[in-house]
Amino acid sequence: MEFFFGLISLTRFGFNIGLLDRPVTFGLFGALITGNIELSIGIGIFFELVWLDFFPAGTFIPPHNILPPFLTLALANLFDITYPGNLIPLLLLTFPTAWLGTRMENWQRKLQDLNYNKLYYWADQEPSSFKPEALVVRSLIQLVILNIILYLVCFTIIFVIIDYTYPFWSDIFEGFKWPYLWLVALVGGILSLRIPRAYEVLVFCLGIVFLTSLFI
């Protein structure tokens, strides 16, 4: 599982070929691998909505949006967590790992400064030794290894926390269903629009949901 994650993580910057690095795509792959369609796609949609307004541009490194859904699905299957409400503590635990992934990728980029110096030296002193493809391959291998290590560390820590705490919160969030979780995840994307009408639509929808919950 961790090796598969290391390879998939390359779709963020190594082999960026479209939607493969999006959580919703991961949800589809997770459904095919685990057979748990509702859980996998539900998790994928949740994290897709959370980072709907984050795009890589210039030197900005967006949150590692593949790591949290990967951890969430793996741990949910391991602990047999299928009800959306019971996923809430797990989602809260895996959510910060996206920024840990970003910090790791930023650190790995800084390591490539040495490669820049090497390229400069080759071009100036040893043109015959100019092999940028070797540096690219080495950087990709670094990313795979670092992502595997990050996944294993995060998985182990969150596994221990859930193993001790799950009996205490397994029945607390019974009223939550997928639409409620998706609505919460969508708030950030709507607020990022900075458009007053978007805020009005958000308040109106929240009111509808609240009134519906009172009469159902």
pLDDT score recorded for residue 11: 66
Q: What is the pLDDT of residue 17?
A: 66
pLDDT at 18: 63
Q: What is the value of pTM for the model shown?
A: 0.77
Q: What are the distances in angstroms from CA 16 to CA 9, 13, 41? A: 10, 6, 22
pLDDT at 2: 60
pLDDT of residue 14: 67
Domain region containing 88? 2-215
Q: How far apart are CA 46 and CA 59, in angstroms?
A: 26
Residues with Cβ within 8 Å of residue 180, at least 6 apart in sequence: 84, 209
Rounded CA separation 46/51 (Å): 9
Residue 126 Rama label (left phi>0; alpha psi -120 to 50; beta): beta
Question: Which amino acid would we find at residue 129?
Answer: S
pLDDT of residue 153: 93
- Give the count of domains, the chain: 1
Reference 49, options 189, 196, 211; nearest CA is 189
| One-letter identity of residue 176 | F
Which pLDDT score is estimated for 208? 75
Looking at residue 183, its pLDDT comes to 78
Give the pLDDT score at 214: 57
Give average pLDDT by consecutive 10-residue segment, the chain, 216 residues: 63 68 82 84 88 71 86 90 84 89 85 74 67 76 87 93 81 74 74 62 70 62
